[in-house]
Amino acid sequence: MKIICSSVKSLPDHIPPDVQAFTFLESSPQPEVGRIAHGWLRELEKEGYAPSVPVWDFVLFCFAVYAADVSVLRKESADGWTRQIELDITLNDPAPWEANRQLVEKMLRVLTGDFWTLQFSAGGPVPPNGQRRLCDRDCVALLSGGLDSLIGGINAVAQGRKPIFVSQLAFEDSARQIKYANDLGGGDWHQQWSHRVVFKGKKETSTRARSMAFYGLAVLATSLLPMEKAEILVAENGFISINPPLLPGRMASFSTRTTYPLFMTMLQELLVDLDIKASLIMPYRFKTKGEMLEECADQSMLKKHACDTTSCGRFRTYNRTHCGRCVPCMVRKAAIQHWGQVDTTHYKFPSLLSAGKTKADDPMAVACAVLSSEQQGIDSFLGATLSFASQADRPQYRRVIEQGLIELAVVLRRDGII
């Protein structure tokens, strides 16, 4: 399917019925055209944003990718999952993007599992031109409302860092984000934005590219910093970053790759090639969630907020309640058990057995992975999972997956799954 993401002035007069078009920042008079970040430019200028063209074009690209991801249905593809996506984007300076087109297409292939064909053309909306305020911050940190990002923020502040916290607006999580940012002393510079992707028609729910909008917002926030080169702190535990396939049928993009190391390496390469001076820092890529909890620098702050954070992959499905049985929920339960604290999180299914056999796909998959590792060894379970890793990093990734399975095994045995 073809997707067009354009400024209003560059939008074609006629949109074919098999094409989904979007306009950046403004509404089109054509009713079938969707919108991306409608009215955002004025808000950014009010907040003092004046990003460079490379930074602004990166934001437009990230939002366009997200729009394409949610508007192309997987069930309509030949195999019910892998899509062929043609994405045309208008930018201010398409030349460096065209020079890196193959890299970008491969990067998106790794992230979503789809085949992307990209085209970049001139005529994108110009960057905001706000009057910058004097900023006393020294880095950017993603703050999602999740447990890992909370720990990352706590540790950054404990180390004397002063992050600009960046969040995506997400219903109840938005209030959590504000609370955490304020408690960490970063409320005045907390940046909460939404991609505001709106269109008619059905929405694809797998959203494998949802993290692109988050990275776009983080890179945008670096334009507020006083230093030329900025660090973006991405706090994600190594087990979830790799998201090892628990069963042979859960390979590649059937598991999310939001912070998958190969994807992150390619994203960093792209930023360098675009002359965007931002470094993606993943301080916990060799730590499990349980290790992050027990090693957190401010245990008092962590205990105050930990069980209020959000981890569930099906949070909306159960009326914004943790299900308790998806892989992220099981990793959360295992981490808190490893930490040695009482888990006061409200779960729809407190026990992995309480969901019944018909709802046990994820617990059974984790059980198979744990038993495979215990009975045949971690290397047999991993197979080629770590083929992306350098020789120096591979032993550390191997250890973090092994430790992650050990943490999960405790919860599986506690609940009688194995």
Q: What is the pLDDT of residue 359?
A: 56
Q: What is the pLDDT of residue 133?
A: 84
Q: What is the pLDDT of residue 327?
A: 93
Q: What is the pLDDT of residue 256?
A: 80
In terms of Cα–Cα distance, which of 262, 264, 263 is closest to 281? Answer: 264
pLDDT tens, per residue, the chain with 418 residues: 999 999 999 999 899 999 999 999 999 999 999 999 999 999 999 999 999 999 999 999 999 999 999 999 999 999 999 999 999 999 999 999 999 999 999 999 999 999 999 999 999 999 999 998 889 999 999 999 999 999 999 999 999 999 999 999 987 789 999 999 999 999 999 999 999 999 999 999 999 999 999 999 999 999 999 998 999 999 999 999 999 999 865 554 456 899 999 999 999 999 999 999 999 999 999 999 999 999 999 999 999 999 999 999 888 778 889 999 999 999 999 999 999 999 999 999 999 987 655 456 899 999 999 999 999 999 999 999 999 999 999 999 999 999 999 999 999 999 999 9
* Amino acid type, 329: C
- Indicate if the alpha-carbon torsion angle 304, 338, 363, 83 is positive or negative: positive
Mention every residue, 6+ apart, whose C-beta is less than 8 A from residue 149.
141, 142, 143, 235
- Whole-model pTM? 0.96
Q: What is the DSSP letter of 308?
A: G
Q: What is the DSSP letter of 268?
A: H
Q: What is the pLDDT of residue 356?
A: 57
Mention every residue, 6+ apart, whose C-beta is less than 8 A from residue 157.
163, 184, 185, 186, 298
Whole-Å CA distances, 250 to 53, 366, 369, 398: 39, 11, 12, 19
Q: What is the pLDDT of residue 260?
A: 96
Q: What is the pLDDT of residue 250?
A: 55
Q: What is the pLDDT of residue 253?
A: 45
DSSP class per residue in 121-171: EE-PPPPP---PPP----EEEE--SSHHHHHHHHHHHHTT--EEEEEE--T
Whole-Å CA distances, 245 to 108, 327, 329, 407: 19, 11, 16, 17
Q: What is the pLDDT of residue 357?
A: 53
Q: What is the DSSP letter of 11?
A: S
List helix spans (H) across 159-260. Answer: 172-183, 210-222, 238-242
Q: What is the DSSP letter of 247?
A: S
